[in-house]
Structure 1
C-alpha cells in the first residue's frame, strides 16, 4: 500500500474513533463503554495490520485525553485489543479471529493491565476484576459492530480493494 494511502486511511480511522466515541457510548458498570474504539480496531486490524491498528488506537486515546474526552484507561483498553486483533487476523485471515482477538485482548488482558496502570498513572487501586465487566461489554459490542462493517465492506468488494493494495 502506498504510504500516502495508508496514512490517509489511518487518519480517517482516528477521526472516526475520536468523534464516534462522543456519539456512541453507554454505561457499563462503573465505567462507560465506547464500542466505536473497538469497531475501529477491527477495521484497522483487517485493513492495515497489527502495528498500524495499535498506532491508531494510541492516537485515538491520545487525542481523546488531550481534549478531555476520555481517561487514561483508553490506552490499554484500545491498544491491547488492537494488537491481538491484528495479529490473529494476520495469522488466520478470518474476521472472526480479529473479533476474538479484540474481545480477549481488551476484555480480558487489558482489564487486567488496567489495574496496575490505574494505580501508577491515576492513583487509584482496584481489585483484579474491577475493570473486567465494562471492558468486556465494550469490546464485545464494538467487535460485533466492527465485524458487521467489515462484512458489509467485503460484500461490496471494498475490503478486497484495500487488502490487494496492502499486499503490494
Structure 2
C-alpha cells in the first residue's frame, strides 16, 4: 500500500511541476497555479494528508527552484492539501475534498501568506488581491479535479485505485 502511495505522490509531484510551468495566474509577486490545487484534491483522495503534504512541500520547493512558483506556494498548497484531506476523510466525498482545498488555500493559505510577504520584504503587500488570486486558482483547480475524479468514479476506475 505504501509503495502505491509513494508512486502516486511521485507522479503528482512530476505533473504538478511540469504543468504548473504552463498554467499560472500572475498577480504581482504571486504565481497562482490551478494545477497545484487540482493535484492537492487528487492527493487528498489517492494518498491522504501526509503524502499529500510531502507532495505540496516538494512541488512548491521545485517550483520555486525552477522559477515557476514563489514563496507564497508553500503556505497555500500545504494548508490546502491538509484541509482537503481532512474534509475527505471526514465525509468520504469527493466534493468535500474540493471544498477543503478552496477553504484551505483560498482563505486560510492566503492569510498565512501575509507574514511571508513581510519576511521577503513586501511591506506594502495587499492581502485582497492575493486572496482573490488564490480563491480563483483554487476554485479552477478543484473543479478540474472534481470532474476528473467523478469521471474515474463513474467508470469504476477510482474504486480499483482506492482498494
The answer to whether the superposition gives a TM-score over 0.5 is yes
Pick one of 101, 122, 129 that aligns with 1:124.
Answer: 122
Q: TM-score, normalised by structure 1?
A: 0.90
Query: Runs of 5+ in structure 2 lacking a partner?
Result: none
- For the 8 Å contact 2:31–2:69, the answer to whether it is kept is no
- For the 8 Å contact 1:111–1:129, the answer to whether it is kept is no
Structure 1 runs of 4+ with >6 Å offset: none
Q: In structure 2, how many angstroms separate the alpha carbons of the residues matched to 1:158 and 1:25? A: 30
Q: In structure 2, how many angstroms separate the alpha carbons of the residues matched to 1:39 and 1:72? A: 19
Quote the offset at 1:24 in angstroms: 2.1
Aligned residue pairs total: 161
Quote the offset at 1:156 in angstroms: 2.2
Quote the offset at 1:130 in angstroms: 4.1
Query: Runs of 5+ in structure 1 lacking a partner?
Result: none
Equivalent residue for 2:154?
A: 155
Q: In structure 2, how many angstroms separate the alpha carbons of the residues matched to 1:23 and 1:156? A: 29
Supply the RMSD in Å over aligned alpha carbons: 1.4
1:88 aligns with 2:87: yes
Equivalent residue for 1:109?
A: 108
Change (3 A) 1:32 1:71: closer
- For the 8 Å contact 1:89–1:98, the answer to whether it is kept is yes
Equivalent residue for 2:140?
A: 141
SS of structure 2 residue aligned to 1:131: helix
Quote the offset at 1:25 in angstroms: 2.5
Q: TM-score, normalised by structure 2?
A: 0.92
Equivalent residue for 1:39?
A: 38
Equivalent residue for 1:14?
A: 13
